[in-house]
Chain A
């Protein structure tokens, strides 16, 4: 359901991102950072708290 991948921000730092694939074919993308207070990230944290681990996502 959730996968993770790295991106590089404007400062050159690496940031981990999460992608969630929905049943309707849409995908939700969000940074895996503590400052993320959005409901998508909060749902991801609940999923992780249940013992789940995101697989690696390879964009290319």
Chain B
């Protein structure tokens, strides 16, 4: 009788004591057993080397040369950790595997980490005060510590996929900062976008920060998280080892079971990269686990980039994600990343230089000969009603008998929302109670911008 395997499983009859040798047939019993063994050998395959034995986490696999053996499949490099709900094993790009959420959309909590979006232009010099400069969402804090140029550079680590970086350059040094002096590179995140961290609960999760950095000043640097809702902080160090060379850094911040983030649109978490600090920020022992925030323990050991003219610090590829795994950077389409940035800052006009008379506000009306109310519709809902507007270049109010030059602008606070702005433009000689709009006045560099930055 022929066996069924591998088409289907067999069900052999076992002889029992007292059976005759021909019922069941002795030769058929041997033939079936031999056929089954040979079929199993064929199924399992051969091995060029001893196949070894299975241990935990191993599977029996066919190799590419037709042999078989026990091997770790997708388990390479795992030394600890367990999978959370929804996580799968994936390569981390460094030759090992990690548990992480595969294909998680918008896993990067940071906006514009690749420094692609710069609505404010590519370079600003002679900086001595704090503000958002060049790269969207990145606030350059300068507290009485040197003079700087900030720029968006067409320079990024080769083969990384990044094409832009943010650079800060010292043009006036401060080698001996006063106690309260500081210089940092910051971003601030809304609490409602951080709820998945489960901060302030027993299930709070770690955060992992990855970035590429380059500086001519080697040494110890600080990356810091500050919880503004509960005044808590944690700081970690990283080292720049080689001068003026792109280096990839990964830092995992511990989970914090104390202090939940508010579920609103205000700043709950700040991420800061230290560049230099006075003794008020360095006199304590660096706080490497979450605790009550104090200046003295926030930046101990930080190298002073401001110590000499021409020193620089450059960064790109910043990703802050939930969990202890550093996964690949989440590259977003340009239109998506721009929309993310326009939630906080929206500029009409420059750096779009395509039309010297480009429209700014598409409509409005005059309620007197000196006031034109103009409406600006935002392309995406902003974080909140804008808190300020910025104007630059030559702008004109258009009306029959015009144009007219505005001499002052004010946000009409009872009519401006997160969806659109109602701006009072002051001029003179206009016709009251009639339609107006505004445009650039033969100036491709002119713009009006709205800010609801954190």
Contact = CB atoms under 8 A, between A and B. Distances in A.
B387 A38 contact: yes
A38 B388 contact: yes
Interface string B388-416: 11111100000000000001111111110
Contacts of B366: none
Contacts of A39: 130-132, 139, 387, 451, 453-454
A57 B409 CA distance: 12
A33 B413 contact: yes
B428 interface: yes
Given A9-B414, A60-B426, A25 B392 contact: yes
Contacts of B451: 38-40
B328 to A, nearest CB: 32
Contacts of B139: 39
Interface in B320-345: none
Interface in A1-26: 5, 7-11, 13, 15, 17, 19, 23-26
Contacts of A27: 390-392, 409
Contact of A28 (B371, B389, B407, B413): B389
A59 B131 contact: no
Given A29-B389, A29-B390, A40-B387, A59 B408 contact: yes
B391, B411, B451 interface centre (most CB from chain A within 10 Å):
B411
B424 interface: yes
Number of contact residues on A: which range applies? 20 to 34
Nearest to A38: B387
Contacts of A13: 414
Contact of A41 (B388, B407, B412): B388
Nearest to A36: B387
A30 B266 contact: no
Contacts of B40: none
Interface string A43-60: 100000000000001011
Contacts of B370: 60
Nearest to B371: A8
B388 A40 contact: yes
A17 B391 CA distance: 15
B143 to A, nearest CB: 10
Contact of A15 (B384, B413, B428): B413
A37 B132 contact: no
Interface of B: 124, 126, 129-132, 139, 266, 370-371, 384, 386-393, 407-415, 422, 424, 426, 428, 451-454
Given A9-B415, A17-B408, A41-B388, 8 more contacts: A13-B414, A27-B391, A27-B409, A28-B388, A31-B413, A33-B413, A39-B139, A60-B428
Interface of A: 5, 7-11, 13, 15, 17, 19, 23-31, 33, 36-41, 43, 57, 59-60
Report the 6 A-B pairs with minimum CB-CB distance, sorted nearest first: A38-B387, A59-B408, A30-B388, A26-B392, A7-B410, A40-B388
10 contacts: A9-B414, A29-B389, A30-B387, A30-B388, A30-B411, A31-B413, A39-B387, A40-B451, A43-B130, A59-B408
